[in-house]
Amino acid sequence: MKENDIKHSAADLSGKTKEDVFNFEKEVKGPDFDGCFTIEMLIKGYENMGIQGSCIYSAIKEIREMRKNNARIFLGFTSNMISCGIREIIMYLAKNKHVDVMCTTAGGIEEDIIKCMAPTYLASGFVQNDGLLRECGWNRIGNMVINNENYFLFEDFMRSFLDELVLGSNKYDEYNKKFNYINLSSEHSKLKNEENGNKIILTPSKLIYFLGKKINNQSSVLYWAYKNGIIVYSHAIVDGSFGDMVSFYNHREKLVIDISEDIKCLNWEPFGNEETKRKNGAIILGGGLIKHMILNANLFNNGLDYCVLINNGVEYEASDAGAALSEGMSWGKVKNGKGIKVYGEASIIFPLVAYGGFKMSWN
């Protein structure tokens, strides 16, 4: 069910009958609702569904291939995935070490932390009286709302977090040991060392590591990433509430957030530091920055071996967000003919794909 894998030209037909070429075998067929119907039947029922239903099944198959071949799995997700209940599924993946590297946006970081302190609520729909919401202290994300109060709690947390980092005596040894293959940067990561005077230089990935440690909450994605040595990249971590807190922090001038080291590390990830070379796979929910980060990094090790994209982006805008996997091939970001794009919104699709790919038993 791979895009582009039947692009025969007339030349390819030599010595073959045309019947050979298009030897379609799978009949389109929907699930049978008669009798008992289980989640296994639902998932398997997508195989021959056609349209995006079949893409769901192909995405699951792709993930199962990643896992069977012990591929390194990059998981990318935009912040709305953490705002909504996909957070619990990503947490499950992190807790069970099902993924190896994560890329997300600023919102993906801060909302995971905030949810440990106070809930996000469902609104009645996507059209609201937003002026009144504002007046009442509610901030809207689609059909979800977050109270200002949540951000005040985050502010307290962040102040204490930054104080610990900037004024405290945090040790980076633990971090560096965990991620020791990035030994190029070991030098770089010492806190408050002589050379850097009174400035503390941290990368987004290190900040996220310490956030996960400090939050110490089993509902948190970042907590499990910290626990399980899953590095989380977020180049634009300052683009949101986290960055605003940094802006207003008393000792801000002492804090340097360095993305130069993080890009080095991210570009190195597809090579790994294991003795045996692993294949690389990606699962990407949404588009924009987090999609490009993962695909671009994989360019340096000959492209992704496996890729699952879930988003509604279209290629006709020539944005990377909407680019088909085929475009990625021209850049060497994905290997020939590999990968599946499911066209749709991930809060519907990822529960199905994650269940089928990571949890369901397939014997």
Which residues from 13-32 bind a second copy, rule CB under 8 A? 13, 18-19, 21-22, 24-32
Site string for a second copy, 285-324 (x = CB under 8 A): -xxxx--xx--x---x-----------x-xxxxxxxx-xx
* 36 phi/psi in degrees, rounded to 5: -70, 145
**Which token pair is 152?**
């005040």
Check binding of 271 to a second copy (CB under 8 A): no
Cα separation of 60 and 345, whole Å?
A: 16
* 135 phi/psi in degrees, rounded to 5: -60, -35
Check binding of 327 to a second copy (CB under 8 A): yes
Q: For a second copy, which is the closer residue by CB, 124 or 276?
A: 124
Catalytic residue, from 115, 192, 333, 338: name it.
333
Give the one residue of 253, 274, 277, 362 binding a second copy; rule: CB under 8 A: 253
Q: For a second copy, which is the closer residue by CB, 9 or 363?
A: 9
The torsion region of residue 255 among left (phi > 0), alpha (psi -120 to 50) and beta comes to: beta
DSSP helix/strand/coil, 202: strand
> Smallest gap, in angstroms, from Cβ of residue 60 to a second copy?
12
> Smallest gap, in angstroms, from Cβ of residue 224 to a second copy?
13
Q: For a second copy, which is the closer residue by CB, 279 or 331?
A: 331
> Smallest gap, in angstroms, from Cβ of residue 288 to a second copy?
4
Contact window for a second copy (CB under 8 A) among 66-74, 127-135, 167-175, 273-281 = 127-135
Interacting residues with a second copy between 192 and 221 (CB under 8 A) = 194-199, 201
Check binding of 155 to a second copy (CB under 8 A): no
CA-CA-CA-CA dihedral for 22, 2, 61, 74, to nearest 10: 170
Contact window for a second copy (CB under 8 A) among 2-10, 60-68, 153-161, 173-181 = 2-10
Q: How many residues bind a second copy (CB under 8 A)?
A: 157
* 231 phi/psi in degrees, rounded to 5: -80, 140
> Smallest gap, in angstroms, from Cβ of residue 210 to a second copy?
15
Burial label, 16 (beta-carbon count in 10 A; 0-12, 13-18, 19+): exposed
CA 62 to mean position of chain CA atoms? 16
Evaluate whether 87 touches 115 at the Cβ level (below 8 Å). Answer: yes
Q: For a second copy, which is the closer residue by CB, 113 or 276?
A: 113
CA distances (Å), origin 71, targets 101, 103, 139, 331: 12, 17, 39, 21
Q: For a second copy, which is the closer residue by CB, 20 or 275?
A: 20
CB atoms within 10 A of CB 130: 11
Check binding of 167 to a second copy (CB under 8 A): no
> Smallest gap, in angstroms, from Cβ of residue 257 to a second copy?
4
Cα separation of 298 and 358, whole Å?
A: 23
Give the one residue of 76, 240, 270, 357 binding a second copy; rule: CB under 8 A: 240
* 244 phi/psi in degrees, rounded to 5: -65, -40
> Smallest gap, in angstroms, from Cβ of residue 280 to a second copy?
17
Evaluate whether 225 touches 212 at the Cβ level (below 8 Å). Answer: yes
> Smallest gap, in angstroms, from Cβ of residue 115 to a second copy?
8
Interacting residues with a second copy between 105 and 124 (CB under 8 A) = 105, 107, 119-124
Q: Characterize the bridge pairing of strands 231-233 and 280-285.
A: unpaired
Question: Would residue 7 show up in a list of annotated catalytic residues for this protein?
Answer: no
Check binding of 361 to a second copy (CB under 8 A): no
Cα separation of 309 and 315, whole Å?
A: 13
Check binding of 283 to a second copy (CB under 8 A): no
Stated as kind and residue range, the H or E segment containing 288 is none
Q: Point out the residues that are catalytic.
A: 333
